[in-house]
């Protein structure tokens, strides 16, 4: 005879995120379930890595923002492994705290990033990115990795593994998955950034924060949702109409106005106008791609546009090169062809087109080309190639019909405070030499500190391909003092022949009605060849930059980018850089 009321059978539940630490799996399904949350945490942490860098690049530049990043990622992993080993008897409390705070950390990071980047002028390009990520990304990474390793260790309890073995396996799996996910995330962002509101810098941060909250089902979810209201309403970096209006309220106080902005694969692209000085520039992250003078109605002062920066005008001097054996002198401009690598606002290619030269422009960033056409009057009668210059030139090398096709080549690439290394390798320059005809001229713009080894390395690489070059700087060299830095634009005019060459005297038609071209079209401040001689004398064979062997230039490029950051802060106020 039954003496108790019947009871309902309790349903078996999957291990929750908070009891993963102590749970022991009894089947393959439970192992997979217990491993799922740790693996997703690692994927989210890996996706946050490039997103964190993107949030810093408009204020510091992509290179300064990345200097310490990867080293700190490795350090954070080691700290998480050490914490798991030393605090194994307190893991439940530590991981539970991590589960509670991860959604909040993911959400608060964009807010802290905004607040800290407002202090970029005092922090500088070295300390600023480091301090910002120590307060935002790396706490998120630490708790994500720690929770993942503990969760994977719990999933491995089904075997006869000791604690040390489980920790080692979990750590190796975690780091491998992180690196792969980081690479996939970076490639995805590069291919899709700016295509929708979600795939923007802060759109991605909000998606990551929402994913953490949904995955961990934290009781702080309500607080997270409330905190979302602040960045959504106050975050001026979101590319919306009302946020753009708010940005302009701040910029007008500095005498500037934001005309247009978009996120793209080379960085944050925007068009700015100086209301006081009357010029318009195109910005890419923390560098300027060029500018022109405008009238008070926002129109160019001349039909072609009056350039602000002389280096882009100097590149047009490829048309003025002459020598005793040059047959090009007998060809009219309309019979010639030019290849331009790197567009900027289009100062040099616009001039070539205006002279009637058939011009092909290779630009990797579609937004740069779009803005150059819309806001800087780039003529439409040219061939535009929107793709990576390295692959394009390599493709042309395989076509015999393109050998010696171009009379002029202009090589003008600059982004993130330094030149793309691959576009200065011996192999790439040999490709350009293949495309240049026997009497042709190439002009190469190099922006950097001429006292650094990187400048010497680039010059020697160029001279290894083109036997005769003349080098000019944008402005006179400082005299009368010992220099610690010499940051400037250097234009290298080169030919495939060893014959000496000069520049003809320009006529009125060469100036295209531009006062700037009258002033600076003819290169003036020449750098003597001995300036870049390496220690040991001219008989010592100098090193050149080869494809696949560019590590030597990376560290030097970082110093160039840091120097460039300080220069940009003297050109445009820091408040303008910070309010992007």
The residues annotated as belonging to the active site are 412
Question: Under a CB-based contact definition with an 8 Å cutoff, are residues 59 and 120 in contact?
Answer: yes
Burial of 462 (0-12, 13-18, 19+ CB in 10 A): buried
SS3 44: helix
What sign does the dihedral 65-66-67-73 (CA atoms) show?
Answer: positive
Angle, helices 28-60/163-192, rounded to nearest 10 degrees: 50
> What letters, b where the CB count within 10 A reaches 16 and e where it falls short, cover 525-559?
eebeeeebbeeeeeeeebebbeeeeeeebeebbbb
Contact 37, 151 (CB under 8 A): yes
Degrees, nearest 5: CA angle 125-126-128: 65
Judged on CB neighbours under 10 Å (0-12, 13-18, 19+), 278 is middle
Q: In terms of DSSP bridges, do strands 406-411 and 337-341 run parallel, antiparallel, or are they unpaired?
A: parallel
Backbone CA torsion sign across 436, 438, 439, 444: positive
Burial of 494 from C-beta contacts in 10 A (0-12 / 13-18 / 19+): buried
């Amino acid at each position: 005879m039954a003496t108790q009321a019947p009871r309902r059978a309790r349903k078996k539940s999957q291990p929750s995120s908070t009891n993963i630490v102590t749970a022991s799996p009894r089947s393959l399904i439970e192992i997979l379930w217990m491993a799922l949350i740790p693996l997703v945490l690692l994927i989210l942490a890996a996706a946050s890595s490039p997103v964190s860098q993107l949030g810093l690049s408009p204020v510091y530049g992509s290179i300064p923002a990345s200097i310490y990043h990867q080293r700190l990622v490795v350090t954070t992993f080691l700290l998480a492994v050490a914490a798991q080993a030393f605090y194994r008897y307190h893991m439940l409390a530590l991981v539970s705290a991590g589960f509670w705070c991860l959604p909040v950390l993911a959400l608060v990071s964009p807010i802290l990033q905004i607040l800290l980047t407002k202090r970029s002028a005092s922090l500088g390009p070295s300390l600023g990115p480091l301090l910002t990520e120590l307060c935002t990304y790396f706490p998120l990474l630490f708790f994500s990795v720690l929770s993942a390793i503990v969760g994977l260790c719990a999933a491995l309890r089904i075997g006869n593994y000791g604690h040390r073995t489980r920790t080692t396996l979990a750590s190796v799996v975690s780091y491998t998955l992180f690196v792969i996910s980081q690479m996939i995330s970076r490639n995805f962002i590069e291919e899709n950034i700016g295509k929708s509101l979600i795939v923007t810098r802060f759109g991605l941060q909000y998606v990551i924060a929402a994913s953490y909250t949904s995955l961990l089902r934290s009781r702080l979810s309500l607080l997270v949702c409330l905190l979302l209201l602040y960045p959504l309403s106050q975050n001026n970096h979101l590319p919306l109409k009302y946020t753009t209006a708010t940005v302009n309220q701040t910029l007008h106080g500095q005498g500037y106005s934001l005309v247009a902005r978009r996120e793209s694969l080379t960085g944050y692209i925007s068009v700015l106008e100086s209301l006081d000085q009357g010029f318009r520039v195109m910005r890419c992250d923390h560098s300027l791609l060029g500018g022109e003078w405008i009238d008070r109605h926002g129109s160019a002062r001349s039909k072609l546009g009056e350039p602000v920066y002389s280096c882009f005008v100097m590149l047009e001097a490829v048309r003025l090169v002459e020598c005793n054996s040059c047959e090009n002198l007998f060809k009219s401009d309309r019979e010639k062809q030019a290849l331009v690598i790197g567009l900027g606002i289009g100062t040099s290619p616009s001039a070539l087109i205006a002279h009637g030269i058939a011009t092909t422009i290779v630009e990797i960033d579609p937004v740069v080309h779009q803005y150059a056409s819309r806001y800087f009057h780039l003529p439409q009668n040219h061939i535009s190639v929107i793709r990576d210059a390295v692959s394009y030139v390599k493709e042309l090398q395989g076509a015999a019909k393109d050998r010696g096709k171009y009379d002029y080549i202009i090589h003008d690439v600059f982004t993130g405070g330094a030149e793309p290394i691959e576009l200065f390798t011996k192999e790439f320059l040999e490709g350009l030499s293949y495309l240049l005809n026997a009497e042709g001229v190439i002009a190469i713009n190099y922006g950097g500190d001429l006292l650094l080894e990187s400048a010497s390395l680039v010059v020697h690489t160029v001279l290894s391909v083109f036997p005769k070059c003349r080098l000019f700087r944008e402005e006179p060299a400082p005299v009368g003092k010992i220099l610690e830095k010499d940051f400037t634009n250097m234009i290298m005019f080169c030919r495939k022949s060893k014959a000496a060459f000069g520049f003809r005297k320009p006529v009125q038609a060469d100036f295209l009605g531009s006062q700037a071209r009258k002033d600076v079209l003819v290169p003036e401040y020449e750098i003597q060849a001995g300036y870049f001689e390496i220690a040991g004398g001219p008989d010592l064979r100098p090193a050149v930059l080869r494809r696949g062997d560019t590590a030597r230039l990376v560290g030097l490029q970082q110093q160039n980018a840091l120097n460039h950051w300080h220069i940009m802060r003297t050109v445009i106020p820091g408040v303008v850089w910070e309010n992007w």
